[in-house]
Amino acid sequence: MKNYFTGIFFLLTTYTFSQENQLHHDGVDKHHLSLKPKDSVCLKDCFLKAHWEAHTRSFFMATINDGALKDDYALASGAGIGLLTKPIYGFQVGVSGFFIYNILSSNIDKPDTLTNTSNRYELGLFDVENPSNRNDLDRLEELYLKYNLSKSAITVGKININTPFINPQDGRMRPTIAEGVWLNINESKKFGINGGWIWDVSPRSTAHWFTLANSMGINPSGVNTDGSKSEYHDNVLSAGMAIANVYFKPNDKLKINLWNGLLDNVMNTGMIEINTNQKINETSQVYQGLIFLHQNSINHGGNIDQKKTYFNEGVQSNVISAQLGIKTKRNNTSLNYTHITGDGRYLMPREWGKEPFYTFLPRERNEGLGNVHAMTVKTSANLYNGRLKTGLGYGYYLLPDVKNYRLNKYGMPSYHQLNLDASYNFTNFLKGLELRVLIVGKLNEGETYNNLKYIYNKVNLINFNFILDFKI
């Protein structure tokens, strides 16, 4: 079915560009074409009046580590283009792609000599599977067929979805993209359904597509619950993931989201999120959020051999996350708390996206951990009619001991984290250009047993990010 869909798309695209080329030679300006009321819909028009997007991104990242541990830097630059056709009898075709170049960098393909540990941050701008690849970093991203009916739609192909389990996690050059079939039913303002079946994924920081099962473990996979090296990469048996979402919004003050992610033969993750808000006056409101998440294994968790499985047989995990905030037209401040119980590790492949909890701060995660107490304070401000956005986030993350392998998959010590970020959207001649700066500092608060592998690229570091985007 996938090959058939690709062939159809290739024929349509070839036809479109041939028509555009003919218009060029005939001296016709396609931007001024219009359909008369009595004109019939034709295939050519759905492409000539398509929505086009172009995007360039330059990303400089540098990390300063503790003492003699290896420091790194990298500058990546790339561009891409995307197309979404005008609907014809409700059908649309979408396609996009992107290429990346390593303009300059330190030896990010070489491990730190003191710990023999690979680079964690800068390498993510390129291809983690091929660290020495500096030029051949192009990727077909979206390629889908979509059918629209009123406010609902069904989409098949390579798509961008945003769920608690699979999401873009766009903190590098390119986001994570999934392949599958996806349904949106949004006919009512108070009730909706979203969901589908995902079989392939192209994780951020990669240049290829993988089956969902084989994508697990492309990034470092940590250790098993007994401390042995995890061996689940290429050893998990799964046909894909079914994701379902039902949301209720009885009024403007309450929204309830129910999510379930069933990873075939591996695990099931259920989540409920409740969001409420109350007006204080005409310009400000108080809001609250509450998340409860439960996971349990299915069969043997992906492999009968527990050293090669992903989610240990008979194990569960539970997470509660809460938020209290106040928001005005210019400012937004929140207090956030997350507790992962000691029942087991919260697990979700890092290749698929970031965690959905309120205490998340960019450049670190609490995935792979149990018995966690995380507390954050976040504040942001919108200035100059929203063109300038600033943010400040502080978090304290109390984690289990690095040698408590049952509850600490990646050997991460407790830590403090401080994030400073700002973005500016230019206007007039530079309209479409956005500059973003993110500075992250992390300070160790846990026992590391004088072993630098628990320090390098984890704590006692400063990470700098400068990102320049131009979109049309």
User: 461-471 pLDDT, tens per residue?
Assistant: 999 999 999 99
Average pLDDT over residues 253-279: 98
Which residues are registered as beta bridge partners of 80?
55, 98
With a cut of 70, say whether residue 267 has pLDDT above it: yes
Is pLDDT at 113 greater than 80 in this prediction? yes
Cβ atoms of 209 and 201 within 8 Å: the answer is: yes
Instruction: Compute CA 402 distance to the chain's CA centroid, rounded to the nearest angstrom.
Output: 26
Q: In angstroms, rounded to a whole number, what is the distance separating the alpha carbons of residues 344 and 315? A: 7
pLDDT at 132 over 60: yes
For 345, the token pair is 């590790």
277-318 per-position pLDDT tens digit: 999 998 999 999 999 999 999 999 999 999 999 999 999 999
Q: How confident is the model at residue 97 (pLDDT cuts 50, 70, 90)?
A: very high
Residue that wins the pLDDT comparison between 233 and 20: 233
Average of pLDDT values for 21-48? 51
Percent of the chain with pLDDT over 90: 86
Residue 412 has pLDDT above 70, yes or no: yes
> Cα(95)–Cα(140) distance, rounded to whole angstroms?
8
Give pLDDT tens digits for 156-210: 999 999 999 999 997 899 999 999 999 999 999 999 999 999 999 999 999 999 9
pLDDT score recorded for residue 133: 87
pLDDT tier at 41, thresholds 50, 70, 90? low
- How many Cα atoms sit within 13 Å of 284 on the Cβ side? 11
Q: What is the pLDDT of residue 35?
A: 37
Q: Where are the chain's structural domains?
A: 45-471
- Specify which residues 296 forms β-bridges with: 268, 316
Q: Which residue has the higher pLDDT, 9 or 52?
A: 52
Q: Is the pLDDT of residue 47 over 70?
A: yes
Fold for domain 45-471?
Porin (2.40.160)
How far is 40 from 183, CA to CA, in rounded Å?
Answer: 29
Please say if the pLDDT value at position 228 is more than 90: yes
* Mean of per-residue pLDDT scores for the chain: 91
Tokens of 69: 């541990």
Question: CA–CA separation, 177 vs 160, rounded Å?
Answer: 5
**Cβ contact 391:427 at 8 Å:** no
In the structure, what pLDDT confidence band is assigned to residue 25 with cuts at 50, 70 and 90?
Answer: very low
CB 6, CB 14: distance < 8 Å: no
Report pLDDT for 12. 41
- The pLDDT assigned to 409 comes to 98
List the end-to-end C-alpha distance of the chain, in Å, as a whole number: 33
Over residues 37-54, mean pLDDT: 74
d(CA 362, CA 115): 24
- Confidence tier at 136 by pLDDT (50, 70, 90): confident
- Res 44: pLDDT: 77
pTM metric for this prediction: 0.89
Asked if residue 454 lies in contact with residue 411, where contact means CB atoms within 8 angstroms, the answer is yes
Tokens standing for residue 386: 């929203």
Banded model confidence at residue 40, pLDDT cuts 50, 70, 90: low
Those residues whose C-beta lies under 8 Å from the C-beta of residue 308, and which sit 6 or more positions away, are: 231, 232, 235, 236, 302
pLDDT, position 14: 39
SS3 of the chain: the string is: CHHHHHHHHHHHHHHHHHHHHHHHHCCCCHHHCCCCCCCCCCHHHHHHCCEEEEEEEEEEEEEECCCCCCCEEEEEEEEEEEEECCCECCEEEEEEEEEEEEEEECCCCCCCCCCCCCCCCHHHHCCCCCCCCCCCEEEEEEEEEEEEECCEEEEEEEECCCCCCCCCCCCCCCCCEEEEEEEEECCCCCEEEEEEEEEEEECCCCCCCEEHHHHCCCCCCCECCCCCECCCCCCCCCCCEEEEEEEEEEECCEEEEEEEEEECCCEEEEEEEEEEEEECCCCEEEEEEEEEEEEEECCCCCCCCCCCCCCCCCCEEEEEEEEEEEEECCEEEEEEEEEECCCCCECCCHHHCCCCCCCCCCCCCCCCECCEEEEEEEEEEEECCCCEEEEEEEEEEECCCCCCCCCECCCCCCEEEEEEEEEEECCHHHCCEEEEEEEEEEEECCCCCCCHHHCCCCCCEEEEEEEEEEEC
The answer to whether 342 and 328 have CB atoms below 8 angstroms apart is no
Contact (CB, 8 A) for 137 and 99:
yes
Pairing, β 316-328 against β 284-297 = antiparallel
pLDDT of residue 9: 41
> Alpha-carbon distance 155 to 84, whole Å?
13
CB burial readout 100-113, b (16+ within 10 A) else e: bbbeebeebeeebe
- CB–CB of 402/446 below 8 Å? yes
Residue with tokens 């608060």: 445
Given a cut of 90, whether residue 2 has pLDDT beyond it is no
Q: What is the mean pLDDT of residues 352-357?
A: 96
